[in-house]
Amino acid sequence: MDEYTLEETLTEAREKMARIVGHVREEFSTVRTGRASTGLIEKLEVEYYGTPVPLQQLATLSVPEPRTLVVAPFDKEALRAIEKAILNSNLGLVPSSDGQVLRIGFPPLTEERRKELVKLVKHMAEEGRISVRNLRRGIRHDLELKEKSGELSADDLARAEKEIEKVTHQKIEELDHHLVSKEHELLEV
């Protein structure tokens, strides 16, 4: 294995790990904090003329006040479908309609609910860590096979493993940083 191919493998590993971290951050944004956030519902699937469509493609989402989210559909005919999707989302949100827009009020979270949400985001972060480690394991396995077949020298294998380990630790630290930030946000009264 030449130097270029090895660097390509390492770059690919960095990109895949970064995507895992990005995915976990997106999952965190779907966890309610007591404050209104468009990220909570923008990816919600709405049944629009028989086709599931993400809410963000059907309406403008805005946060005029810290505890209020406003959904203004581009097509007024979609208002009922959007309302139904929000009610069926298991987010515990109840929209009110004035015929033009939906307003969603965010009640303050109880202490018990905050603790449940912290457990949920910890679980999401752990799933992310596991994914990063599994990716590291797969890459190591591939590199070891290449070393056994003679495509990769033992020195290159050692250097690549050290680099993969370094990237893995960086991404796990990044996940932990996002977790601490989300926990703080959830426990803030």
Residues 6+ away with beta carbon under 8 Å from 23 = 128
pLDDT of residue 1: 52
pLDDT above 90 (res 141): yes
- Chain centroid to CA 125: 10
Q: Are 49 and 80 in contact (CB under 8 A)?
A: no
For 38-105, CATH number out of 3.90.650.10, 3.40.50.2300, 3.20.20.120, 3.30.1360.40 equals: 3.30.1360.40
pLDDT above 70 (res 3): no
- Check residues 115 and 165 and name the one with the higher pLDDT: 165
Tokens of 16: 């895949």
pLDDT (tens digit, 9 = 90+) per residue, 6-60? 888 889 999 999 999 999 998 888 776 667 778 778 888 999 988 999 988 999 9
pLDDT above 70 (res 91): yes
Q: What is the mean pLDDT of the chain?
A: 88
Helix, coil or strand: residue 71: strand
Q: Judge residue 28's burial from the number of C-beta atoms within 10 Å of its C-beta, 0-12 exposed, 13-18 middle, 19 or more buried.
A: buried
| Model confidence band, residue 65 (pLDDT cutoffs 50, 70, 90) | confident
- Minimum mean pLDDT range among 100-104, 110-114, 130-134, 159-163: 110-114
pTM: 0.69
In percent, how much of the chain has pLDDT > 70? 96
Tokens of 29: 């944004």
Class for the domain spanning 3-30+110-187:
mainly alpha
**Angstrom distance (rounded) from CA 14 to CA 174:** 13
* Domain layout of the chain by residue ranges: 3-30+110-187, 38-105
